[in-house]
Structure 1
């Protein structure tokens, strides 16, 4: 059953989706890469931080005693990997979710609406489409692994370049793919679902693509907050799997067991507060920007 104009959002072209989401990714990298580095280093830290001095050492490591300007420059490791990963990720995620959503709308809209009601069904289709896209995001995992290692464990590169690492490590760069998929499925469901529910029930939008920048910003806050909270425990495990030395891998279940035994249940939410304060705005910024730019590019094209 095809969607009707009364209950379907306007479609944007594929080019507009690529340009809008890529632009959002570029802007996000330019503003938030140092913040992402801080978040990853906090999540990778397995010791208790009880003083500003310890916090300084966790963030800046061997450069903790350097002048402020030099310390700040150390927050830009892996920028090349980060740029490639983030732009591809945003194009895939923000640009791909509308295609998945249209597929569900075209083929399963009646099932969702009969089960959950018209408004809730529409929001849940958006959430489900996001979850499916999130699982497929594991194809970009090697770039994410290299970015995180550059940020948290640069010694693991041992002077090797990108292509040398690819040749040496091969499929090892997909280590942690199961945990990544397990993190992405509920995380992306909550991101797009929270965003859709806010547009549907808080903002009362009939066509989500008609949202203004302000409305996209508000809806993105709901989606980003829900996503970060839901995915936090698996994100910590994923990060610890990926920041290990290439020659010293550790399984996710081993990390989970050791964290529960040595650090307690709160360890699974390490970095959540700074992540909500740092990654949260980053995700809100890029998500709101992509949702605003895609319709804008579509009109221009």
Structure 2
């Protein structure tokens, strides 16, 4: 067996869970209103030509209320969002290192022979992210309920979580194919952009040894690449998930209608707000997780 490509230190599973969960909680507390705004803009199928129309799209029934009431209206579905976001961040940020270790152990030689040592290492990180991104569809029901709360609360009709699970069943996985199609390249770009920045910009041998500043800058590369690559499929996924439970619409139907009625630019609706809002959210949580995981590992590791 060939020698390791790096001196990357393996963090404990507990450290990965704690670091990722803490990053998810912090992200949710700060950025949930931003996420609601982006989802409502992506769900809107009309042209916005004035500040008044933008106000109606974002704040809906509270558009003419006080600033405080409008701000509170950006927190629908917070319970679903908390469950989804924390589990997602633990799964994604905490799970990718395990997938990366699996690829390193079993396929390192293939990557190095094809791409060279440094590029191969970065591409393994990207590929591990892609695998984790595809598996993220197991959390899809929580994402669906969060998006419906944000964009189409009438679909709940007073039903609670357990009642909806019982009534809707596997329909909560509607759009899973489009979600997987979005997550695979999106997560590849997220972890790949991050890894390439650490490898070539900062020349790090151990990615886990990056400083907060290095993690932050590397996360900007990864997050920007991820949002741009996944934007068209994210718009389709959001429109599938925000429909009423009894009125589903196929992804290809949405794609066809968007191209016909709204033009190709519709596939990038909400991209600028996402880069300006979701981008910092993703950068913040990704950089925080990458900083906290090694920190928790040092705290939990027995002293020598």
Deviations 1:45-79 (A, max 9, x none): 00001110000000001111001111110000000
| Gap change, CA 1:187 and 1:243, over 3 Å in 2 | same
* Root-mean-square deviation over aligned CA pairs: 0.8
Q: Distance in 1 between matches of 2:241 and 2:7?
A: 40
Runs of 4+ in 1 over 3 A off after TM superposition: none
1:237 equivalent to 2:247? Answer no
8 Å contact 1:2–1:106 — kept in the other structure? no
Q: Which residue of 1 aligns with 2:283?
A: 284
Separation (CA, whole Å) in 2 of partners of 1:227 and 1:189? 8
Q: Distance in 2 between matches of 1:15 and 1:256?
A: 42
Within 2, Cα distance between the matches of 1:294 and 1:15? 9
In the alignment, structure 1 segments of 5+ residues that lack a partner are none
Equivalent residue, structure 2, for 1:56: 55
How high is the TM-score relative to the length of structure 2?
0.98
Counterpart residue number, 1:174: 173
Q: Where does the alignment leave 5 or more consecutive residues of structure 2 unmatched?
A: none
CA–CA distance in 1 between the matches of 2:158 and 2:18? 35
Q: Distance in 2 between matches of 1:271 and 1:247?
A: 26
Give the aligned partner of residue 205 of structure 1.
204
Residue aligning to 1:191: 190
Deviation at 1:8, TM superposition (A): 3.9
Per the normalisation by structure 1, the TM-score is 0.99
Alpha-carbon distance in structure 1 between the residues aligned to 2:66 and 2:124? 51
Distance 2:124 2:140 in 1: 26
Residue 68 of structure 1 is matched in structure 2 by 67
**Which residue does the alignment assign to 2:293?**
294
Structure 2 residue matching 1:278: 3-state secondary structure: helix
What is the Cα deviation at residue 140 of structure 1? 0.1
Q: CA deviation at 1:206?
A: 1.0
User: CA–CA distance in 2 between the matches of 1:2 and 1:17?
Assistant: 27
Matches within 5 A, 1:215-230: 215-230=214-229
Equivalent residue number for residue 248 of structure 1? 247
